[in-house]
Chains A and B, each alone.
Chain A
């Protein structure tokens, strides 16, 4: 479902003397439907960079990133938008929303853009928020004022609202208590069961052991003598 071949990436910092910083070379991996692959490697090794290239907000310098039938590395913006609509989901560590939009609608939005009617989309959003223990009295409020852990759970609910065939998870269990962590791990297992291909970063080793079928160490993709890059 996700197949990365010979992917490389470098940054050119035009405003710092046009410094060319290679951060990844020869990255290859695949994730089959129903499989969860964990990216490991020390901080700065390029886990997040790889994840962002698959999402398409970082450009690949060379190589292929097949997600379903789309090569993200060479796709047009419109093809990537189409892929993100119903082909690829992403739970990032940051919740970026228009202030003032109620939490229930923030979570329902991925369904709404796929044409699911408002009542059905909200019902699904409500189920996920309840499962993730977001108190119902918070649903009409914007999540921008929520605590870090609450925002993280809203982000997870949003990421799992639509049954994407491929899913990227960036530290989904970070800053969660034991009960909510268990809910998130259940959601991941359920997504695998329905056939989702999942690529994730988990610093939480127990979580990694529980949901990941394989691990890929991205240090292997670090170019020789590369300078330290931001994570």
Chain B
């Protein structure tokens, strides 16, 4: 259907014919005297996956929450599709986060409404952008449950009755049903069994490719970024210490901290 088109769009995008979707310059956020993140700048293009790695406390989650509008940075600029996100009215930014943006939390409980059915979780985001026809909403919810490999007969079950992996896939369905262009992911495979992680990775890769999504994914799992991210940013103590092509950063790390990070991974 639209899949080859998306791939073409990405091809154009990597050849520089397309403008960046997200432009970040000089972003900084402190908590009192403590640096959350500082001096972060990067461009993200349509169809591109940027991985952010670093240990706990390196500032990667602070950065993600500033990008996604969950926290206000102290300094810097964020342009989304050419618009200044930080200068935007709150209503406009909320509209973006309901339509063009999505946020996948590490803990599905933070991204789902546990008290309502799986179908309602997916449908709710559609209703938030104005969908009103019950039959259409249910049909789309069913379609999306199928795409994230949740059996249609579970549509009326509450997420609390799902396994961790299913909850995470439901969270992805809820986020992607409005066909966003930019997805923020915070440790999306954390806390899942390895076999479940593989399934989720496969799913995410297919969705990125077929929907032409741009993704910023924060993780401490280098194997996940190797398979998913085009580019990698390594953070330590709130600063970006190294960035580049994913396999270059992992195979030939230049910064002392990245060398330590890569050499500390157990080989399997």
Contact = CB atoms under 8 A, between A and B. Distances in A.
A27 to B, nearest CB: 16
A127 interface: no
B248 interface: yes
Given A98-B227, A115-B4, A117-B4, A15 B259 contact: yes
Contacts of A116: 4
Nearest to B254: A59
B260 A57 contact: no
Contact of A14 (B11, B202, B247, B259): B259
Nearest to B260: A15
B209 A112 contact: yes
B14 A81 contact: yes
Contacts of A99: 195, 198, 201-202
Contacts of B256: 14-15
Given A15-B259, A58-B252, A80-B245, A85 B230 contact: no
B32 interface: no
A13 interface: yes
A56 B11 contact: no
A98 B247 contact: no
B199 interface: yes
B130 to A, nearest CB: 32
Given A58-B251, A98-B205, A115 B15 contact: no
A57 B249 CA distance: 8
Contact of A100 (B11, B199, B230): B199
Interface residues of B, number: 36
A86 B11 CA distance: 10
A29 interface: no
Contacts of A133: none
A135 interface: no
B3 A98 contact: no
A115 B7 contact: yes
B244 interface: yes
Nearest to A16: B259
Contacts of A85: 11, 14
B135 interface: no
Nearest to A117: B4
Interface in A1-34: 11-15
A87 to B, nearest CB: 11
A197 B239 CA distance: 41
Contact of A82 (B3, B14, B226, B247): B14
Contacts of B250: 57
A123 interface: no
A227 B14 CA distance: 39
9 contacts: A11-B252, A14-B260, A56-B248, A57-B248, A79-B14, A82-B14, A82-B15, A99-B201, A112-B7
Interface of B: 3-5, 7-8, 10-11, 14-16, 45, 48, 195, 198-199, 201-202, 205, 209, 226-227, 230-231, 244-245, 247-248, 250-252, 254-256, 259-260, 263
Interface of A: 11-15, 52, 56-59, 77-82, 85-86, 96-101, 112-118
